[in-house]
Structure 1
Amino acid sequence: MDTKATARIDELKPTQGALGMEHVREKMRLTQEQPEQNRAAFMDEHALRVVRGPGGTLHVIDHHHWARAWDELGMDIVPVSIACDFSDRDHDAFVAAMREEGWIHPFDAQGRETSVDALPPSIAAMPDDPYLSLAAFVRMAGMFEDSPEFNAKFAWADYFRERIEGDFASIAGFAKALAQAVAASREDEARELPGFKA
């Protein structure tokens, strides 16, 4: 069972190379909508899932978008849920264990694989991959389900990356790309993706 705790957001280490900033802005809106007296409980419900690594460092394995949203909102201390303690391992053994669990995704903002050492040093340093936002909103629209496979959202993002050339600099451009992504999620090729809904 995970252990509840709190952590400084600027000390948390990402385990993926990018995130979707439109999705982050949605998480910011949801957080800001909470009345002040409910906000702590709301954040606790969405506690960042982390693993303790060498030297006691905390590595986020789930809820990177909540983490960035709270960072953008200026929150210094955030709730975390410690899933595993690998603090007794050296760097290589830690990385091996994280890979084995499917808890690390070293791909950059263009979906290209990188080294684990090239992961961003902090949540604030994570670059935007708009295709991760597309995948998130297509899932919210009910086109696919959250799969227990950690890489489901990345598989969908890469699927859209191959099919959609969006102008993500404007709301209108993102909306057009999202409409194309919803249509693409109905294509026969999408049936092979994790979480596909018939």
Structure 2
Amino acid sequence: MYTYVKDTNDIENFLREVSYFHDALVKELSCAGRGFVDKNLLMYDDLNPSDCRLVIQQQSDQSPCTEIIFENISKLVFEPSVILEPELVFEKSRIVFSFTSSRRSVIPQIVADSMKYRILGKDVLGRNLLYTNPIPVGDACPPKVLKDHWVECTKCGEVWEYAALERANIQCGKCGAVYTLENQRT
């Protein structure tokens, strides 16, 4: 269940609940626009409001993983980094989340109409992504396909079973290599 942040008391309670993101980093960032192009190639822009999901992992027993959803974002500036000095405020009835980046080249910031969050347990920590397919970077080649939906990582030899999908990016849980599966049939 999500908890909405509606006022300054909610902000303070949220930051306290997540220990002010001490020893935290952004694990996932995904955005989705509500506009689309249909099968007849007609565009439905709806002024294209977008929503953003942020997954933050931290070294904390109290809040090891936090999912934050920003609704109707109007600004997104991002740099992957460790979260330093988080700030969450209301400005002109919009919520603004920013933090000092450990790289310090930009100030990551999300401005949105509203924000909701939920604390997730330790079982979602780790290398694997929570909501999105792994992104194929570098050589995203097929793994060695065995049989009955089993594959072998060509980098480290790890073997695992995958869901029977037409197209998917899968990630080795041992070494983190990302593979692209397309119509794999054994």
| TM-score bracket for this pair, using the shorter chain length | under 0.3
If each structure's helix is expressed as a fraction of its own residues, which one has the higher value? 1
If each structure's strand is expressed as a fraction of its own residues, which one has the higher value? 2
Larger RCO (alpha carbons 8 Å, 6+ apart):
1
